[in-house]
């Protein structure tokens, strides 16, 4: 469903699926990475009303995983470039990968993708420094999601299970 490309390296198209709705790519030698591209392969779209939040995870000095929200991919915006070179000393943020205990290796980071309701994505704020440009990265407050979110809410009111059909 997803691909991940570190600029300068070979593309990865086989993430580890760590939960039904969560996917992880390893990023070896992450300290030498500037930009990461996350994209949908075009084979399977998100279920209607859903999208993916994209996280960067790296080990802090004590080996604990630090997670930062980079941005989003959706059926309407199925790819994004993120700049991760400025994030390596940042503070962690809330994330949905909490209980997974991904093995931490000092030189290996991760990209995590969590499939969620657009409703939830619209309430999340990515780290500003991950934005390559507002056009490309979709890391700003996702205004474009709001009309779809309102539409989603309206349909949800009419039929709480519409998105399952």
Per CB under 8 A, residues contacting its own copies are: 3, 5-11, 32, 34-35, 37, 39-42, 77-81, 132-133, 135-138
Residues with Cβ < 8 Å from 155, sequence gap 6 or more?
Answer: 49, 162, 163
Nearer to its own copies, 95 or 148 (CB): 148
Nearer to its own copies, 4 or 65 (CB): 4
- As measured in angstroms, the least distance from the Cβ of 60 to its own copies is 23
- As measured in angstroms, the least distance from the Cβ of 83 to its own copies is 9
Nearer to its own copies, 6 or 66 (CB): 6
Locate 55 and state its tokens. Answer: 């996280």
Residue 68 CA to its chain's centroid (Å): 9
Locate 150 and state its tokens. Answer: 């309102």
Nearer to its own copies, 3 or 92 (CB): 3
**Residue 29 region by backbone torsions, left for phi larger than 0, else alpha for psi between -120 and 50, else beta:** left
Locate 40 and state its tokens. Answer: 């949908």
- As measured in angstroms, the least distance from the Cβ of 126 to its own copies is 15
- As measured in angstroms, the least distance from the Cβ of 164 to its own copies is 25
162 contacts 156 by C-beta, under 8 angstroms: yes
């Amino acid at each position: 469903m997803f691909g991940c490309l570190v600029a300068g390296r070979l593309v990865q198209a086989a993430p580890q699926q760590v939960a039904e709705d969560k996917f992880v790519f390893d990023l070896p030698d992450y300290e030498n990475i500037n930009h990461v591209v996350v994209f949908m392969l075009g084979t399977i779209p998100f279920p209607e009303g859903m999208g993916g939040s994209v996280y960067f995870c790296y080990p802090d000095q004590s080996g604990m995983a630090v997670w930062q929200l980079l941005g989003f991919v959706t059926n309407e915006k199925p790819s994004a470039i993120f700049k991760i070179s400025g994030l390596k000393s940042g503070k962690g943020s809330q994330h949905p990968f909490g209980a997974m205990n991904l093995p931490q290796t000092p030189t290996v980071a991760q990209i995590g993708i969590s499939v969620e309701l657009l409703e939830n994505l619209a309430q999340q704020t990515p780290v500003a420094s991950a934005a390559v440009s507002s056009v490309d990265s979709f890391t700003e407050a996702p205004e474009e999601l709001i009309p779809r979110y309102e539409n989603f809410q309206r349909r949800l009111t009419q039929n709480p299970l519409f998105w399952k059909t």
